[in-house]
Amino acid sequence: MTESRTLVRRHDRPARRPPTASTDPVARVSAALPGPHLTVLLVVVLANYAAQVPYALDLYGTHVSRTGAGLLGITLAWFLAGVVLQRRGGRAGRAGYWLLLSFLITEFLFYFHGQILQLAHGYGMVHDLVHAHDTIVRWVFVVGDLNFVAAGFFAAYLAWHRRTSARP
């Protein structure tokens, strides 16, 4: 008789949350990119930054703009801070989420202006790839186009999964 009471009591308990679910409301707001998604994003964005060095040397030689190099450094720090903080979770993850999302939206709008809005004037993605006779410039355009697509995809992913993939 005691065994049956023990079994009944065990089944009356409310179900526990899985250990990965966070009870912190701040952590639930920030969405974390899963590892494979983050790897793809890191490769594409860092390839774009790496491509800027041979691109600048090919077009401008050693006369590189300090302002342009400074802006590249600031935006790279913006991206990396968002990634690092977003992976930490908690309050830092929330800040990282917003940093990463704002970076991706800004990058998407930058390429949207340069690629899509230029189509009305006969320029844009296809024109750049067809009329670029320099191999370095052509590859930089390809990497930039990949960044455009990746920024749009991952910004939409983060916005869509904002509350569903919480970091503890």
pLDDT at 49: 95
pLDDT digits (tens, 9 = 90+) for 47-65: 999 999 998 888 888 888 8
CA distances (Å), origin 108, targets 84, 116, 156 = 20, 11, 11
155 CB burial (10 A radius; 0-12, 13-18, 19+): buried
Listed by start position, the domains of the chain span 25-160
Cα 80–86–92 angle (5° rounding)? 110
Instruction: Please give the model's pTM, rounded to 2 decimal places.
Output: 0.73
Helix, coil or strand: residue 166: strand
Q: pLDDT band for position 25 (50/70/90)?
A: very low
Half-sphere exposure of 39 (CA within 13 A, CB side): 3
